[in-house]
Amino acid sequence: MKSLKIAVLAKQVPDTRNVGKDAMNEDGTINRAALPAIFNPEDMNALEQALRLKDMCPGSTVTVFTMGPERAKEIVLEGMFRGADTGYLLTDRLFAGADTLATSYALSSALRKAGSFDIIVGGRQAIDGDTAQVGPQVAQKLGLPQVTYVEEILALEEGKITLRRAITGGVETVEAPLPVLLTVNGTAAACRPRNAKLVMARKKAEVTAWSVADVDADPAQCGLSGSPTKVKKVDSISFQAKESKRCTSSDEDIRSLVEELITNHTIG
Amino acid sequence: MNWYKDTPEIKLRLENPLMKHIVELKEHGFADALKYDYAPVDVEDALDNYDRVLEIVGDISENVIAPNSEGVDRTGPSCSGGRAHYAPGTAENLEICRQAGLTAIEMPRRYGGLNMPSTIFCAASELISRADAGFQNLLGLQSCACTLYEFGTDDQRDRFITRVCNGETMSMDLTEPDAGSDLQSVALKATFDEAANCWRLNGVKRFITNGDSDIHLVLARSEEGTTDGRGLSMFIYDKREGGVTVRRIEDKMGIHGSPTCELVYNNAKAELCGDRRLGLIKYVMSLMNAARLGIAAQSVGISSAALQEALSYAADRKQFGKTIDNFPAVYEMIAMIKAKLEASRSLLYETANFVDIYKSLEDIARERTLTPEERQECKRYSRLADALTPLAKGMSSEFANQNAYDCIQIHGGSGFMRDYLCERLYRDARITSIYEGTTQLQVVAAIRYVTNETYASMVEEMLSEALPAEFASRQERLREMLAKFRAATEAVTAVKDQDWLDFQARRLVEMAAHCVMGALLLRDAAKAPELLLKSADVYLAYAAAQVEGHSSFIKSSDPAMLSNYQA
Ligand SMILES: Cc1cc2nc3c(=O)[nH]c(=O)nc-3n(C[C@H](O)[C@H](O)[C@@H](O)COP(=O)(O)OP(=O)(O)OC[C@H]3O[C@@H](n4cnc5c(N)ncnc54)[C@H](O)[C@@H]3O)c2cc1C
Ligand SMILES: Cc1cc2nc3c(=O)[nH]c(=O)nc-3n(C[C@H](O)[C@H](O)[C@H](O)COP(=O)(O)OP(=O)(O)OC[C@H]3O[C@@H](n4cnc5c(N)ncnc54)[C@H](O)[C@@H]3O)c2cc1C
């Protein structure tokens, strides 16, 4: 089979799973210093699928794309420590403040610039923005078919890929033509570890940084100016006691709770 | 979040002046940098590489091996169709370590290895063992490749070491039903098959860790009519050739991550490694020394796990209105676990450093003749390493057992339940003082360095090193311990009775060990008082009392009382 050009979309995110006491500043903004920046977890799953494609089809290359501030180059290096061949960091003040529309515009511009990819793999969702829209939007902009919620690659043939994807209450097997964009679920295989030799060989690697101009993008469609989304206000909502219901461990309480849950179709 | 990064006590041991020297010896002028993209260009680069590789190990240990360890302990390996099968968690651990490229940490780059020193391998072993001591055995057996490298031919190195670098596993097949501590009685028969122009092995091996490995080093009797160690040779058995089956695997108390196999050799094709007759007296001795260092590292890993479990439980459990770590009886146990752990660590890494120096010099000697100074350095460190290895193995393993015991005690009744990790630590720790030579056999190996003053002069030398003023009284305390050790040695040897010396040997070796470990820990504590000074003081107080106890026992005993001990 002819070798493939594979792209991985990966985002650096604050580690929202380890939110400590000092995660928020007094003024309600995020205290970045208290939240370590990590590789978006589902993008790790995506990277693993990309590396498996490379294993299945020797000679293929895996390229990581990330958009973020200067330090997001760690994402590209992390990918390369685990087996990706190279990567690009999209960084430019003009990219800043992007919503999903501007993010997918920037990413698709870069993907176009870097050449035609056979398979683009992203995570399902980022743990900070949490929209799960960027992958599908990139596919739309590049005019590619997309398969979301991918859990496993079942087969790779010339010009065709067979996948298992998660759906509510089960799984589905789908076939897609190449080129294609996949978004990978957290239930897919965990990413392989860093490889000792790759870490040593690439620890000082230069990561190519691309600006808006480098990817031939229209500045008006990037960053804040390209984002119709305007965040007006962020509220911290805490649940009130009246929204919860107290129930003791007595047989009677449990029976009435179960009945209630069955009646309102929460269970059963 | 990463066991390596979160344990500055390990990194501290790697930041000593000897390490730079070791890098220079291992890298012979950094010539590999021209050929391999992952080879370092200078000392700093190499040290940074070590750090980064240990970070990978820290991550895998914490996030893969530790989470798998309970399942591995419950499921264990199995045996069917003459083959051993790992528990699923063990198989996953191994696969991840292969992907991370950790299966030949010490091997030269030309075979695909990382060319890292034993010291780094020990740190990796410690981290892995903290997660699962049984699994550490499997990965630790890569040190068999060092023996193959030292004594095999170029062709054997090319064929076998490359495979280990690619992730194949090894085993060392020494023990037999009638040859345990006494390996001179090994009986597995090696005969030369003229027709096929190869050796054939026939017989049984017992208690072989990872006995269904890809490449075995086998001790066998090649010289018909002999009965002692000089009739034994070392062979390489390649599983691809066939001829060895796993008859059963042992149902063990602990280390369920590693299958312990009984092997039947049925006309198995094998090749000689090195010269005939040198199997036990030279090659296996070298093999065992590396393996003993591995068990010392394994023991340190178990102690480190015991410390973490003890700390977190004691900080959580409340009795009489406060957490139990407020009770002197409990915090003393925790402090003792840490002190014994840190003393073991100091000794482990010192020993590993010495091993690295002489092994690297020996390796350089394969390419060019050493200068007279180098030759002397090689000899000196080889002797020191040989002296420290049995101490490290013996003491660290006994301490790991004591620490696991205390860890359960701190957990009270919960510690007796299988719900808590400390129960497994206790079972896993138990083997460390048995395999690779029991503690008693470590004493047998160490006693000559007691009587020839090796340990005493080492300690003396360390005490002559200048430490900050506030360490003077601590050094004085060590001097008193050393004096008691010397007096006790003299008293025992003056009797000139072998049984008497054998009887007192363990006490003498422990006295030596307390002096050596105390001095080493004090030296390390001077470098990082905030990390180690408390532990050093706790250890010194304990060690001084132990030395005093042994000293008083020896003073008040005489050979006539030996009969009291005999049935
Ligand atoms: C309070 C708040 C509210 C917001 N509301 C909206 C809103 O309503 N509409 C809107 O469009 N935006 C909104 N945003 C912005 C948006 O969340 C992100 O900033 C946007 O950049 C990416 O969306 P995501 O993080 O949800 O990514 P997702 O769509 O969840 O990410 C899916 C995948 O796309 C890829 N990907 C995403 N970002 C990158 C990147 N930077 N580099 C490389 N790969 C990447 C990864 O593979 C990732 O797994 C909001 C932001 C804030 C702070
Ligand atoms: C889980 C496990 C894994 C093992 N893995 C391997 C392996 O991979 N490869 C391998 O070759 N072997 C392996 N062994 C074997 C192990 O090395 C031996 O069990 C060990 O060396 C002790 O030998 P033995 O069991 O025959 O005990 P014995 O030699 O019978 O010893 C019994 C007791 O007598 C004492 N004793 C014996 N001789 C003396 C003496 N001269 N002075 C004082 N005391 C003495 C011992 O200290 C011990 O207390 C393994 C064993 C176990 C249990």
DSSP A183-246: EE-TTSPPPPPPPHHHHHHHTTPPPEEE-TTTTT--GGGSTGGG--------------GGGS--
Query: Which CA distances in Å does B441 have to A67, B348, B401?
Result: 61, 18, 17
CATH architecture of B170-277: Beta Barrel (2.40)
Residue to mutate among B5, B38, B105, with most A CBs inside 10 A, is: B38
How far apart (Å, rounded) are the C-alpha atoms in residues B245 and B261?
A: 10
Regions in chain B scoring below 50 on pLDDT: none
Residue B461's Cβ-side half-sphere holds a number of Cα atoms within 13 Å equal to 8
Please work out whether the CB of residue B260 comes within 6 Å of at least one atom of ligand 2: yes
The pair of structure tokens assigned to B234 is: 């070392």
pLDDT of A244: 73
Instruction: Report the alpha-carbon distance of residue A48 to residue A190 in Å, rounded.
Output: 7
Q: How far, in Å, CA of A119 to CA of A8, rounded? A: 9
Omega prior to B8 cis, within 30 of 0: no
Domain boundaries, chain B: 8-164+281-433, 170-277, 447-561
Using an 8 Å CB-CB cutoff, list residues of chain A that contact chain B: 192-201, 203
pLDDT for A240 equals 66
pLDDT of residue A28: 63
Indicate the residue of A192, A193, A199 with minimum beta-carbon distance to B52.
Answer: A199
In tens, the pLDDT along B357-403 reads 999 999 999 999 999 999 999 999 999 999 999 999 999 999 999 99
Residue A131 Cβ < 6 Å to ligand 1: yes
Three-state DSSP string of B25-58: HHHHHHHHHHCCCCCCCCHHHHHHHHHHHHHHHH
* CB-ligand 2 contact for B181 (6 Å cutoff): yes
Beta carbons within 8 Å of B428's beta carbon, 6+ residues apart: B133, B134, B254, B255, B302, B404
CA B139 from chain center: how many Å? 13
The residue type found at B470 is E
Q: Determine the residue among A51, A194, A204 to mutate to test chain B binding: the one whose Cβ has the most chain B Cβ atoms within 10 Å.
A: A194
Given the candidates 3.40.50.920, 1.20.120.470, 3.90.25.10, 3.40.50.2300, the CATH classification of the domain at B447-561 is: 1.20.120.470
Instruction: Identify the three-state secondary structure at position B78.
Output: strand
| Domain A5-226: assigned CATH number | 3.40.50.620
Would you state the pLDDT for residue A247? Answer: 85
Residue A24 confidence (pLDDT) above 80:
no
- Cα dist from B508 to B444, B449, B454, B489, whole Å: 11, 10, 13, 7
Q: Is B153 in the pocket of ligand 2 (CB under 6 A)?
A: no
| B192: β partners | B199
Q: How far apart are CA B106 and CA B351, in angstroms?
A: 16
> By CA distance, what is B51's nearest residue in A?
A200
- What DSSP element (H or E) covers A129? none
Which residues from chain A sit within 8 angstroms of residue B59, using beta carbons? 193-194
The residue to which tokens 């004090």 are assigned: B522
Instruction: Using an 8 Å CB-CB cutoff, list chain B residues near A85.
Output: none
Cβ atoms of B478 and B451 closer than 8 Å: no
Pick B100's closest partner by Cβ from A195, A200, A203. Answer: A195
A50-68 pLDDT, tens digit per residue, is 999 999 999 999 999 999 9
Asked whether A16 lines ligand 1 (CB < 6 A), one says no
Rounded-to-integer distance, Cα B476 and Cα B298, Å: 32
Q: What percent of chain A has pLDDT over 90?
A: 76
* Burial of B141 from C-beta contacts in 10 A (0-12 / 13-18 / 19+): buried
Give the distance (Å) from ligand 1 centre to CA of residue A134. 6
**Strand-pair partners of A37:** A14
Residue spans per domain, chain A: 5-226
Between the CA of B563 and the centroid of ligand 2 the distance, in Å, is: 26
Using an 8 Å CB-CB cutoff, list chain A residues near B62.
Answer: none
CA distances from A109 to A85, A99, A145, A215, A227 (A): 20, 15, 17, 6, 16
| Residue from the list A193, A199, A203 with its beta carbon closest to the beta carbon of B60 | A193
Overall residue count recorded for chain B in this entry: 567
Tokens for B86? 């790992």
Helix, strand or coil, per DSSP, at residue A97? coil
- Residue B542 is predicted with a pLDDT of 98
Domain B8-164+281-433, CATH class in plain words:
mainly alpha
Instruction: Write out the E strands in B243-315.
Output: 244-249, 260-273
User: What distance in Å separates residue A198's CA from the closest CA in chain B?
Assistant: 7
Whose alpha carbon is nearest atom 9 of ligand 2? B208
Backbone angles phi, psi at A183, to 5 degrees: -115, 135
**Cα(B459)–Cα(B519) distance, integer angstroms:** 7
- Partner residues linked to A86 by β-bridges: A63
Chain centre distance of CA A115: 21
Tokens of B531: 């990390």
CB of residue B208 inside a 6 A radius of ligand 2 = yes
On chain A, the residues whose CB falls within 8 A of the CB of B56 are: 193-194, 196, 199
Residue B468: the pLDDT is 92
List the structure tokens of A77.
């290096």
Ligand 2 within 6 A of CB of B8: no
For residue A33, name the pLDDT band (cuts at 50, 70, 90).
confident
Phi, psi of A66 (to 5 degrees): -140, 145
Q: Give the span between the Cα atoms of A208 and A70, in whole angstroms.
A: 11
Burial label for A259, CB within 10 Å (0-12, 13-18, 19+), is exposed
Token pair 């390209």 is at which residue?
A: A226
Q: CB-based contact (8 Å) between B56 and chain A?
A: yes
Closest ligand to the CA of B184: 2
The span from the first CA to the last CA of chain B, in angstroms, equals 55
B219: β partners: B234
**Residue B447 burial (CB count, 10 A):** 21
User: Is the model's pLDDT at A227 over the cut of 80?
Assistant: yes
Confidence of residue A27 (pLDDT cuts 50, 70, 90): low
Residue B172 near ligand 2, beta carbon < 6 Å: yes
Beta carbons of B56 and A194 less than 8 Å apart: yes
- Nearest atom within ligand 1 for CA of residue A98: 21
Nearest CA to ligand 2 atom 30: B180
Strand duo A5-9 + A61-67: pairing: parallel
Of A192, A193, A200, the CB nearest to B52: A200
Are the C-beta atoms of B131 and B61 separated by less than 8 Å? yes
**Residues 6 or more apart in contact with residue A214 via CB below 8 angstroms:** A113
